[in-house]
């Protein structure tokens, strides 16, 4: 049982009116909802946390200041857990017994200050009033922790609507996990993360958050936790610490998407561009990139599993480090970065794997290939080997590799991280690079050059086809390939009449 006590507020300090008293610790979860993880393109294998000061707490009806010189104040509606009895090294099955109350919270943050916090969020989320909690406490004994609803409104319009069923980790797991490291004491608060829909608010906006349990007897609710955004008068002194700084990456994260932030759409392989790449051979693309000074863009030493299939997509990268038994024990098992990458791959992406050219162990097998195919992946490229080769081939996904090998990856590799710049087959590959493969091989094209390079390739292909016809007619190569002025004039005249 959580506790038999009744919540009492600190009448002397209205900031804590939504809690039993001033919390000793506020622990917040970085990324916990599947909807948010999918939005960010990464799904954590285990929870990670940061602390917020109790001085950041406010109650319903309070105001929050957007500091002078900043633009990216974002809300995050969350379910808050309030500890009722001390928890230290408690098992998962008993963890919920240590939660006394559930309520609503808003984990505000200034993304302009995030870059230099290195994940601690001290400055970006620690400001006064940045943790509204309330309005009322729900007895944790009366609700199912897997059936809590979380909703957020901005100026009366719904912005977030999710439930604890959408969490990657259970609410009880947060309690059990944290209790492994320190004692959770009565009154401590755990902020359990936010779902998709978090975005930027500006002075004048009113943000409301509610947690309820619609299926529980009486449908208990926290009521709406209301916070009004106002413009602050005070900025920051650069002589004392870092100044606010907002770039397009922070804007995209704060608003939730590039479109919402008013930014130009990120590069995308449009149907029109994809159709052009379908016609453009890798050999031709290579020649055009070479003309532009890019020679090290071919992923060497790979063979296509399906030579007749064209591979076209944007890179999602995965990196393996050399196998080491202790590192495989600590990082290689469970929901490791390999599985995370395959789970997070999006429609049209190519999973590109750095395996250092080591083909003496598999880098993927049939289950992962099936997962990639089901997610709409465009293909897989690895400078290592494929396990379950025939079964992977039967999936039908374009795959380029150094061949087959029966050993599991742990024989030579440790899946280490994903979504970063890697080296594959002697070529550097960054997330979002355009990957094109055919029976000649695989090439990496920087997104900014794709349109120009593919247009030039197709134009050259037309010219080469015309030259091939002239050679087939019996003409000498000299002066024709490459064309001298006379042949070039003839080609131009014939092309103009087509």
CA dist., res. 185 & res. 325, Å (int): 38
Domain harbouring 70, CATH code? 3.90.850.10
Q: Is 89 exposed, middle or buried (0-12, 13-18, 19+ CB in 10 A)?
A: exposed
Cβ contact 369:347 at 8 Å: no
* Same-domain check for residues 456 and 438: no
Q: pLDDT value at position 39?
A: 81
pLDDT band at 302 (very low <50, low <70, confident <90, very high): very high
E runs forming strands in 128-199: 131-139, 149-154, 157-163, 189-191
* Same-domain check for residues 411 and 393: yes
CA dist., res. 368 & res. 1, Å (int): 43
Over residues 333-361, mean pLDDT: 94
Non-local (6+) Cβ contacts of 134 within 8 A are: 17, 18, 19, 59, 60, 103, 104, 222, 223, 225
Residue 273 lies in a domain: no
For the chain, the domain total comes to: 3
Percent of the chain with pLDDT over 90: 85
CA dist., res. 258 & res. 427, Å (int): 29
Structure tokens at 282: 């890798």
Q: pLDDT value at position 5?
A: 45
- Listed residue (33, 38, 37, 45) closest to 340, CA to CA: 45
**Peptide bond between residue 482 and the one before it cis (omega within 30 degrees of 0):** yes
Kindly give the pairing relationship between strand 399-401 and strand 379-382.
parallel
Per-chain mean pLDDT for the chain: 94
Q: pLDDT value at position 288?
A: 96
Q: Is 323 exposed, middle or buried (0-12, 13-18, 19+ CB in 10 A)?
A: middle
> What is the H or E stretch that residue 488 is in?
helix 485-496
Residue 268 lies in a domain: no
CA dist., res. 395 & res. 369, Å (int): 7
Kindly give the pairing relationship between strand 189-191 and strand 26-29.
parallel
Residue 5 lies in a domain: no
pLDDT tens for 437-448 read 999 999 999 999
Q: Is the pLDDT of residue 389 over 90?
A: yes
Q: Is the pLDDT of residue 4 over 80?
A: no
CA dist., res. 103 & res. 20, Å (int): 11
Q: Tell me the three state secondary structure of residue 459.
A: helix
Kindly give the pairing relationship between strand 434-438 and strand 62-66.
unpaired
Q: How far is CA 226 from each of CA 18, 141, 153, 317, rounded to the nearest angstrom? A: 12, 25, 9, 42
CA dist., res. 316 & res. 43, Å (int): 14
pLDDT band at 7 (very low <50, low <70, confident <90, very high): low
Q: Is the pLDDT of residue 186 over 50?
A: yes
* Same-domain check for residues 370 and 246: no
* Same-domain check for residues 378 and 478: no
Q: pLDDT value at position 266?
A: 76
* Same-domain check for residues 437 and 456: no
Cβ contact 63:228 at 8 Å: yes
Over residues 433-459, mean pLDDT: 96
Over residues 221-243, mean pLDDT: 93
Over residues 48-76, mean pLDDT: 97
CA dist., res. 309 & res. 398, Å (int): 6
Residue 4 lies in a domain: no
Cβ contact 102:138 at 8 Å: yes
- Listed residue (267, 275, 277, 270) closest to 454, CA to CA: 277
Q: Say how many C-beta atoms besides its own lie within 10 A of residue 428's C-beta.
A: 13
* Same-domain check for residues 340 and 479: no
CA dist., res. 62 & res. 225, Å (int): 9
Over residues 67-78, mean pLDDT: 96
Q: pLDDT value at position 10?
A: 56
Cβ contact 400:382 at 8 Å: yes
Q: Is the pLDDT of residue 18 over 80?
A: yes
Q: Is the pLDDT of residue 360 over 60?
A: yes
Residue 261 lies in a domain: no
pLDDT tens for 254-279 read 999 888 888 877 788 999 999 999 99
* Same-domain check for residues 467 and 333: no
Q: pLDDT value at position 3?
A: 43
Q: Is the pLDDT of residue 129 over 60?
A: yes
Residue 391 lies in a domain: yes
Percent of the chain with pLDDT over 70: 98
Non-local (6+) Cβ contacts of 261 within 8 A are: 200, 248, 251, 252, 254, 255
Non-local (6+) Cβ contacts of 321 within 8 A are: 327, 413, 414, 416
pLDDT tens for 93-125 read 999 999 999 999 999 999 999 887 877 999 999
* Same-domain check for residues 241 and 333: no
What is the span of the domain harbouring residue 463? 451-496
Q: How far apart are the first and last CA of the chain?
A: 84
* Same-domain check for residues 206 and 240: yes
Q: Is 39 exposed, middle or buried (0-12, 13-18, 19+ CB in 10 A)?
A: middle
Domain harbouring 438, CATH code? 3.50.30.40
* Same-domain check for residues 464 and 405: no
The least confident of 1-5, 91-95, 156-160, 449-453 is 1-5
* Same-domain check for residues 308 and 383: yes
Q: pLDDT value at position 249?
A: 87
Structure tokens at 434: 């355009």
Q: Which of 255, 287, 316 is the last residue of a domain?
A: 255
Cβ contact 289:445 at 8 Å: yes
Over residues 349-364, mean pLDDT: 97
* Same-domain check for residues 478 and 441: no
Q: Say how many C-beta atoms besides its own lie within 10 A of residue 91's C-beta.
A: 9
Q: Is 271 exposed, middle or buried (0-12, 13-18, 19+ CB in 10 A)?
A: exposed
Kindly give the pairing relationship between strand 311-322 and strand 349-354.
parallel
The least confident of 202-216, 222-236, 238-252, 284-298 is 238-252
Residue 9 lies in a domain: no
């Amino acid at each position: 049982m959580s506790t038999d006590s009744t919540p009492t507020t600190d009448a002397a300090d209205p900031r804590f009116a939504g809690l039993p008293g001033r919390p000793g610790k506020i622990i917040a979860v970085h990324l916990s909802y599947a909807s948010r993880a999918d939005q960010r393109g990464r799904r954590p294998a285990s929870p990670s946390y940061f602390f917020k000061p109790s001085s950041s707490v406010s109650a319903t009806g309070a105001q929050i200041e957007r500091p002078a010189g900043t633009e990216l104040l974002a809300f995050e509606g969350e379910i808050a857990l309030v500890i009722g009895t001390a928890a230290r090294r408690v098992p998962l099955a008993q963890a919920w017994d240590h939660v006394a109350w559930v309520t609503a919270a808003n984990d505000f943050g200034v993304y302009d200050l995030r870059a230099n916090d290195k994940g601690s969020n001290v400055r970006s989320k620690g400001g006064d009033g940045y943790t509204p909690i309330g309005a009322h406490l729900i007895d944790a004994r009366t609700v199912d922790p897997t059936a809590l609803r979380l909703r957020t409104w901005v100026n009366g319009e719904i912005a977030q609507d999710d439930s604890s069923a959408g969490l990657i980790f259970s609410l009880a797991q947060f309690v059990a996990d944290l209790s492994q490291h320190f004692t959770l004491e009565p009154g401590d608060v755990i902020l359990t993360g936010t779902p998709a829909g978090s975005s930027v608010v500006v002075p004048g906006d009113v943000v409301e958050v509610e947690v309820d349990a619609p299926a529980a007897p009486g449908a208990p609710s926290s009521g709406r936790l209301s916070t009004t955004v106002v413009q602050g008068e005070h900025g920051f002194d650069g002589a004392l610490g870092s100044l606010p700084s907002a770039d397009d990456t922070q804007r995209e994260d704060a608003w939730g998407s590039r479109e919402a932030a008013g930014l130009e759409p990120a590069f995308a392989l449009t149907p029109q561009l994809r159709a052009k790449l379908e016609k453009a051979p890798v050999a031709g693309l290579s020649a055009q990139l070479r003309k532009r000074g890019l020679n090290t863009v071919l992923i060497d030493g790979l063979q296509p599993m399906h030579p007749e299939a064209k591979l076209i997509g944007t890179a999602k990268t995965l990196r393996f480090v050399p196998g080491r038994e202790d590192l495989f024990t600590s990082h290689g098992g469970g929901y490791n970065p390999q599985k995370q990458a395959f789970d997070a791959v999006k429609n049209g992406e190519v999973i590109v794997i750095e395996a250092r050219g080591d083909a003496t162990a598999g880098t993927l097998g049939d289950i992962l290939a099936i997962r990639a195919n089901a997610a709409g992946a465009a293909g897989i490229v690895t400078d290592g080997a494929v396990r379950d080769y025939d079964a992977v081939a039967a999936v039908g996904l374009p795959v380029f590799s150094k061949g087959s090998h029966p050993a599991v990856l742990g024989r030579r590799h440790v899946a280490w991280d994903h979504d970063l710049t890697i080296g594959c087959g002697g070529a550097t590959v960054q997330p979002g690079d355009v990957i094109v493969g055919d029976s000649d091989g695989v090439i990496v094209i920087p997104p900014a050059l794709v349109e120009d390079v593919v247009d030039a390739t197709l134009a050259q292909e037309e010219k080469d086809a015309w030259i091939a016809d002239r050679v087939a007619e019996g003409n000498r190569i000299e002066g024709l390939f490459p064309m001298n002025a006379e042949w070039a004039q003839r080609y131009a005249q014939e092309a103009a009449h087509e």
